[in-house]
Amino acid sequence: MYIMKPSASSCGRGIKVIGKRTHINKRSGYIVSKYIGKPHLIRGFKYDLRVYVVVTSFEPLKVYLFKEGLVRLATVPYTTNKSSLKQRFVHLTNYSVNKKAETYQKNNATSTETPVETEENQSKMSFAQLRQEYEKEGADYDQIFEGIKDVIIKTILSVENPIVTSMGGTKYKQTCFEVYGFDVLIDSKFKPWLLEVNVSPSLSSSSPMDKYIKTLLLSDTMYLTGFHIFDRKQLEKDKQKTDK
């Protein structure tokens, strides 16, 4: 099987899973990749990982991996039957796609340490909860993430030169940073595969757990890049004292 993605789109729009007998008209503007037909499953559902990475400098290269992230599950049990190829809820893990499914369920946990058992039917999980799932199967979470780190480093190295060039060389190397959303698929042998890299990934929150993780991500990013977080209410009080 193969998967077709528009080269300039988002939120799962225009994605198709095709079999070897599927007829496709010649067209431009699409990327076609070999489909990983044997992904690792959680409770019978396909999933992928949204891994957050912050690059504060490309020369010298400084890459930070956020310790938390999102596990995004499909909402219909996985199968490779020919009849399933058009069932987006089986093969696509995008939140924007699966939120429309009747079986989609928010993760209402307000902490990443919430046990998996308390949110059994959730369609999103934290990495802390993923660790619990892997431990149940005897899989080494830390070793799997060492493989993910390797994928991230090699990906960023592959674009280092063109990005430095687009920034005007090294003269302005300290003037910007980027938060990337790496989408990673884990196969049945626990090998990580890079699906895509998102520039400026969505920071909107669809659940309490989303909000918790993304708030931590923003706080850490601001700290790394030197932003000073201030108390607006205290600032107003100080301003009033100055005016008096």
pLDDT digits (tens, 9 = 90+) for 15-63: 888 877 777 777 788 888 888 989 999 999 999 999 999 998 888 889 9
Instruction: Give residue-wise pLDDT tens across range 159-189.
Output: 988 888 877 665 666 668 899 999 999 999 9
Q: Which pLDDT score, from 0 to 100, does residue 96 have?
A: 77
Q: What is the mean pLDDT of residues 6-20?
A: 78
Residue with tokens 């990495």: 127
pLDDT digits (tens, 9 = 90+) for 118-143: 455 678 899 999 999 999 999 999 99
pLDDT at 229 exceeding the cut of 70:
no
Range ranked top by mean pLDDT from 115-119, 172-176, 214-218: 214-218
Distance CA 11, CA 40 (A): 22
**Stretch (H or E) spanning 213:** helix 208-225
Encoded tokens for 157: 């190295």
- 3-state secondary structure labels for all residues of 71-125: EEECCCCCCCCHHHCCCHHHHCCCHHHHCCCCCCCCCCCCCCCCCHHHHCCCCEE
pTM, two decimal places: 0.83
What are the tens digits of pLDDT across the range 53-105? 999 888 888 999 999 999 999 998 999 888 777 788 888 888 778 777 767 67
